[in-house]
Amino acid sequence: MYVGKSYKLSEFLFWTRKSIYILILMGLVPVILYQILGLKWVAIPWTVVALLGTATAFIVGFKNTQTYNRTGEAQHVWTSIINSSRAWGLLSRDFITDPLETKELIYRHLAWLTVLRFQLRESRVWESVDKAHNAEYQKYYTIPEHESEMESVLKKYLTATETEYVLSKKNRAFQILSLQSKAVKNLYTTEQIVLLQFTEIQKTLRDLLSQQGKCEEIKDSPYPRQYAIINTFLLKLFCFMLPFGMLRELDKLNEAVNGVMHGKMVWFVIPFSVLISWLYTSLGQVGESTENPFEGNANDVPISQFCEIIEIDLRELLDETDVAELTQPKHNIIL
The span from the first CA to the last CA of the chain, in angstroms, equals 6
Q: Residue 257 — pLDDT band, cuts 50, 70, 90? A: low
CB atoms within 10 A of CB 126: 12
Task: Please name which of 38, 180, 43 lies closest in space to residue 113, comparing C-alpha atoms.
Answer: 180
As a whole number, the mean pLDDT across the chain is 88
- Tens-digit pLDDT profile for residues 262-318: 767 888 889 999 999 998 888 888 888 888 888 888 888 899 999 999 999 999 999
Say whether pLDDT at 22 is over 80: yes
Task: Record the pTM.
Answer: 0.88
Residue pair 315/50 in contact (Cβ under 8 Å)? The answer is no
Q: Residue 181 — pLDDT band, cuts 50, 70, 90? A: very high
Which residues pair with residue 333 across a beta bridge?
2, 330
Task: Please name which of 143, 141, 151 lies closest in space to residue 121, comparing C-alpha atoms.
Answer: 143
Query: How many residues would you count in the chain?
Result: 335
Across 313-327, average pLDDT: 87
Measured torsion, CA atoms of residues 278, 281, 287, 293, in degrees rounded to the nearest 10: -90
Across 314-325, average pLDDT: 87
